[in-house]
């Protein structure tokens, strides 16, 4: 299992990953580097200019052991955008061969240097884009407009079209929308469309086009 966390703030990134780690092992500190659990392993690329193939191979070798106390070994690599292509390919091979009781968690501030194959093999989480409260309110209103026929279609379309979207901010709208949808059979098609839109974002489709296409699909009359 592999997770890729993307955030434009290192502190928020580490806090989020720490919460994810705590789902598997007990955590008694608020700093990743201070976790001393035998099944937790950290490679901090933020503390070095480059993560090389030797670094990755040595790190992954530790994860080949069976978990000592937890249900899985957890390997966290921060600053993975500093990894060379050779190092990324070495880790990709590990993704294909590692046991079910190994969890890889990658954290990056910038995903532009990651190989497409790395992104395709991971569950991607866009976390905590730094936005103002005013913009957060705007995202909520836009997400609500997807579901409410009473809100003017053309007005909302213009709001989406006139805004500059990043992957992170587009993913925030999709996440809000997913949370607002009921989790039942009647909403299943819409839930799947939201998930598919997130996949388009991961495959570098224009965030604006992703949001516009999904909006028109949601508001299309049956």
Note whether 64 and 37 are same-domain residues: yes
Choosing from 126, 160, 194, the residue where a domain stops is 126
- The Cα-based distances of 146 to 60, 210, 213 in angstroms read 44, 13, 11
Note whether 97 and 187 are same-domain residues: no
How far apart (Å, rounded) are the C-alpha atoms in residues 126 and 132? 17
Note whether 154 and 211 are same-domain residues: yes
Note whether 87 and 7 are same-domain residues: yes
Model pLDDT, residue 47: 85
Model pLDDT, residue 129: 53
Residues 6+ apart with CB under 8 A from 176: 139, 140, 143
CB 73 within 8 A of CB 67: yes
Q: pLDDT tens digits for the chain (222 residues)?
A: 889 998 877 888 899 999 999 988 888 888 888 888 988 999 999 888 899 999 999 998 888 888 888 888 899 999 998 999 999 999 988 887 776 788 999 999 877 788 888 888 888 887 765 555 667 788 889 999 998 988 999 999 999 999 888 777 888 888 889 888 887 888 888 989 998 898 888 777 889 999 999 999 998 875
Note whether 137 and 116 are same-domain residues: no
Note whether 122 and 138 are same-domain residues: no
Question: What percent of the chain is helix, strand and coil (3-state, nearest 5)?
Answer: 55, 15, 35
Note whether 114 and 9 are same-domain residues: yes
Note whether 29 and 107 are same-domain residues: yes
Choosing from 86, 104, 126, the residue where a domain stops is 126
Note whether 102 and 148 are same-domain residues: no
Q: Which of 102, 125, 93 is nearest to 15 (CA)?
A: 125
DSSP state, residue 114: S
CB 85 within 8 A of CB 93: no
Strand order in the sheet with 102-108: 40-44, 73-78, 102-108, 2-6, 123-126
Note whether 147 and 71 are same-domain residues: no
Report the alpha-carbon angle 12-15-19, nearest 5: 140
Total structural domains in the chain? 2
Q: Which of 88, 85, 61 is nearest to 75 (CA)?
A: 61
Model pLDDT, residue 132: 55
CB 18 within 8 A of CB 32: yes
**Residue owning tokens 């590692």:** 98
DSSP string, 58-109: HHHHHTTSPPSSSSSEEEEEE-GGGB-HHHHHHHHHHHHH--TTEEEEEEES
Note whether 171 and 197 are same-domain residues: yes
Model pLDDT, residue 155: 92
User: Which domain does 161 fall in, by range?
Assistant: 133-219
Choosing from 126, 153, 180, the residue where a domain stops is 126
Strand partners, 4: 106, 124
């Amino acid at each position: 299992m592999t997770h890729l966390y993307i955030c434009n703030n290192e502190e928020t990134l580490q806090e989020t990953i720490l919460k994810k780690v705590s789902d598997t092992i007990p955590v008694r500190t608020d700093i990743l580097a201070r976790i001393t659990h035998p099944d937790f392993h950290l490679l901090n690329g933020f503390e070095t200019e480059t993560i090389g193939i030797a670094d990755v191979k040595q790190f992954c070798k530790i994860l080949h052991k069976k978990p000592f106390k937890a249900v899985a070994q957890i390997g966290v690599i921060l600053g993975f955008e500093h990894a060379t292509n050779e190092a990324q390919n070495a880790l990709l091979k590990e993704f294909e061969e590692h046991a079910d009781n190994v969890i890889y968690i990658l954290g990056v501030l910038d995903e532009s240097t990651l190989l497409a194959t790395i992104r395709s093999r991971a569950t991607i989480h866009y976390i905590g884009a730094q936005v103002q409260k005013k913009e957060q309110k705007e995202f909520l209103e836009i997400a609500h407009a997807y579901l409410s026929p009473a809100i003017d279609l053309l007005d909302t379309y213009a709001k989406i079209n006139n805004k500059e979207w990043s992957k992170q901010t587009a993913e925030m709208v999709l996440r809000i929308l997913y949370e607002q949808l009921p989790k039942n059979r009647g909403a299943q098609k819409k839930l799947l469309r939201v998930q598919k839109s997130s996949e388009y974002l991961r495959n570098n489709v224009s965030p604006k086009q992703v949001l516009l296409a999904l909006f028109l699909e949601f508001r299309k009359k049956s």
